[in-house]
Amino acid sequence: MKMHVAGKWIETDKVIEVSNPYTREPVDTVPSAGPSEVEAALASAERGAKVMADLPAHRRAEILKATAGLIRERSEELARLLTQEVGKTIRESRAEVQRAATVMDLSAEESGRLYSETIPLDAAVGGEDKFGFTLRVPCGVVAAIVPFNFPLNLLTHKVGPALAGGNAVIAKPASDTPLTALKLTELLLAGGLPPEAIQTITGPGSSVGEQIVADSRVRKVSFTGSRAVAEGLTRRAGLKKLSLELGSNSPVAILADADLDLAARVLTTTGYANAGQVCISTQRVLVEKPVYEEFLERFRPSVEALVTGDPMEEATQVGPLIREKEAKRVEDWIRDAVDHGADLIVGGTRWAGIVSPAILGSVNPSLKISCDELFGPAVAVTPVEDLNEAIALANQTRYGLSAGVFTRDLDQAKQFMREVKSGNIHINWGTQWRVDMMPYGGLKDSGIGKEGPRYAVEEMTELKMVVVH
């Protein structure tokens, strides 16, 4: 596939091969951009930003709604492409495509909600006979940098609100999974988007991404990815608006009064969907000691029943990790936990890029598999004395993206909700749950800012204060 720069689909001498994580066979190639292509994209985006700023809100909404319709029309094609480049199951890919269309619809609605307000300046001495009001205006050029795990839906969460707010966008997909981003660009253009309003540029993040982020013509950067990359990005970005949606090692507490069948069933989904490659995957489970063994008795058969294999098969529930080296890393983390006293209750074997869904019991909370972000299909279970210890361990991390608790006691649920330092809290559910209109983002090292079209549009616009004297 070609990349879209300066209103044209272009190639370069160097290419990046995109491989199927399951078969390891080539799917396609994309250009590997260099400094000149990035400069062309930046210059074009600056021109596109002026076009978008002049585009009325109803027209921006029409473009986004048309794109949503085209996503739905081509949903099966997009889902199959997602599975080919990401390795997620075809059922998960179909769900991602439908969510992407929803995000575009929600963004279209926000085009007409860029409200202003009047300010009662006469409330201040000297403000008599003054009239004040605010204006919300586009940032200009928005850089949208997305990871491999949800390359379509996460891109719509950036592109949709940016265009709704009247901006131009430079999209930088992950090198492992650029194909659906390029397809989305095709659909946006088919939906009527001005050609210079979207640049989708492919190439190494270490060069392409850094050049985009550091450029002064980019006013807003929206990044989803790892904490380590985000730290470097913020240093290079300088005085820009930033939204950072980063990683986590999301905890779930299971209290003695919990519905254990519900917990086992839910965590089988929230711990292993997309082979655990979700920033809000349930990674740590903190179980009160009186029900620890009983919970494992229910959790184990549920996880054992998960079907692994070819993600294109309808029955498959867990496919490969994005690269074999990531599967080897997950395998190493599991072995490290066992070497340091954890019990391997089920799974943890690897063949090629697939790791069988694993449960580790009696996990010391100081172990790597509990402290760092695993991004793989394994859940670490730790017994705790009570809710207070569960909350303390939930907070014993640099992260704070999503957390959950299972309990029938409203007071305990309220204590967990108040005291756990996390951007998303789930009562009687796992951590991996999101609908696209909700405010979504983390605390601490899990990020800055909120996604969800209503909230993202505010992040992707500027507020002016006007005083009429």
**Span 104-125, pLDDT tens digits:** 999 999 999 999 999 999 999 9
pLDDT of residue 375: 98
pLDDT of residue 120: 97
Q: What is the pTM of this model?
A: 0.97
Q: Give phi and psi for 250, each to the nearest 5.
A: -55, 130
**Span 223-268, pLDDT tens digits:** 999 999 999 999 999 999 999 999 999 999 999 999 999 999 999 9
Cα-trace Rg, the chain: 23
Known active-site residue 371: no
pLDDT of residue 144: 98
pLDDT of residue 214: 97
pLDDT of residue 10: 98
Instruction: Measure the CA–CA gap between 22 and 332, rounded to whole angstroms.
Output: 20
Known active-site residue 279: yes
Q: Break the chain down into helix, strand, coil percent, rounded to 5.
A: 45, 20, 35
Which position among 245, 331, 451, 458 bears the catalytic label?
A: 245
- How far is the CA of 111 from the CAs of 137, 226, 451, in angstroms? 12, 30, 16
pLDDT of residue 332: 98
**All structural domains of the chain:** 3-246+443-468 (3.40.605.10), 251-427 (3.40.309.10)
Which position among 37, 139, 279, 288 bears the catalytic label?
A: 279
pLDDT < 50: residue spans in the chain: none
Mean pLDDT of the chain: 97
Residues in contact with 376: Cβ distance below 8 Å, sequence separation at least 6, in sequence order: 275, 276, 277, 321, 326, 327, 329, 330, 333, 355
> In the numeric block, which tokens belong to residue 441?
């983002």
pLDDT of residue 376: 98
